[in-house]
A = this chain, B = another copy of it.
């Protein structure tokens, strides 16, 4: 395995470019999608698929879903370089969900630049995002010669399983955004994360297990590891948003208190609503429900979270989840190198500061 994880990034991008070239022509379309009945319009597909996809990928992203997949592949004793094509599956899926989520959330920015629907129009952005849900699934069909039928079927059934639950998670999250007085338990919040974020992690792990023909208990173990790591990552995100905002409370900027402005019902909010006195809880609910917030209101909400002990509570839950994630793969016989890398992933998700 390459020494540092970052070394895989350009190779992953090369593999993605084999699947969706930067320049689309009729020959590629025929090869990848099958011959047309009449005549394709390569220029149209260029603009509707390749341009938005590469615009997003070229802005950055760590490709960590692809890298985690390759770590598993090596842990299972196979050569990661031969599985680069499959590493693109979760990566393209993930970037597709980003484009669609940004439309759903009416996001202005993505990775520091205008969200894709602001550049290409909502119609092109959405269709490109949706195309990126199905395009990677075709990779399995195209691997007929390498991949036995039972593995292809297992991969498809796994993907349908997880992609269904992804949409349940997103549905719960959106519904909670939209409703002021919705009651959410911490367990429901964790489930939303497990579905929305965790399922893509599960895809990474289960795909690696299926393609290297691991027994079911190994597939389950790595899926649990990836799911819990992803949930811990999401909670880490929620904590960071509050901590960074409190840390630079003096310099009100656009990035200040994003989650409060969006009215997100994070684990920190759920905890504070349950732990604060009724009046304070009602005030928090009120601020979150407002369409626009002043900086003072945002700061007030952040203080309510802090005073309720939400940050400590959330950090404790995230640490527990990371520990559970590591415990899930304890019984597996990975080499030391793989063990170290997988441990690093669970540490990164709660110790990072950006």
Contacts and interface: CB of A to CB of B under 8 A. Distances in A.
Contacts of A104: 122-123, 126-127
A157 B157 CA distance: 11
Copies in the complex: 2
A58 interface: no
B41 A191 contact: yes
Interface stretch (A78-86, A128-136, A210-218): A128-136
Contact of A34 (B127, B131, B165, B198): B165
B170 A39 contact: no
A253 interface: no
Contacts of A48: 168, 170-172, 174-175
Counting contact residues on chain A (CB < 8 A from B), the size range is 35 or more
Contacts of A191: 36-41
A188 interface: yes
A175 B126 contact: no
A175 to B, nearest CB: 4
A207 interface: no
Contact of A164 (B33, B105, B150): B33
Interface of A: 29, 33-34, 36-41, 43-45, 47-49, 100, 103-106, 121-124, 126-128, 130-131, 133-135, 137-138, 140-141, 149-150, 152-153, 156-157, 160-161, 163-165, 167-168, 170-172, 174-178, 182, 184-185, 187-188, 190-192, 194, 198, 227
The 8 A-B residue pairs whose C-beta atoms are closest, nearest first, are A48-B171, A131-B167, A39-B187, A44-B172, A38-B191, A104-B123, A44-B175, A156-B156
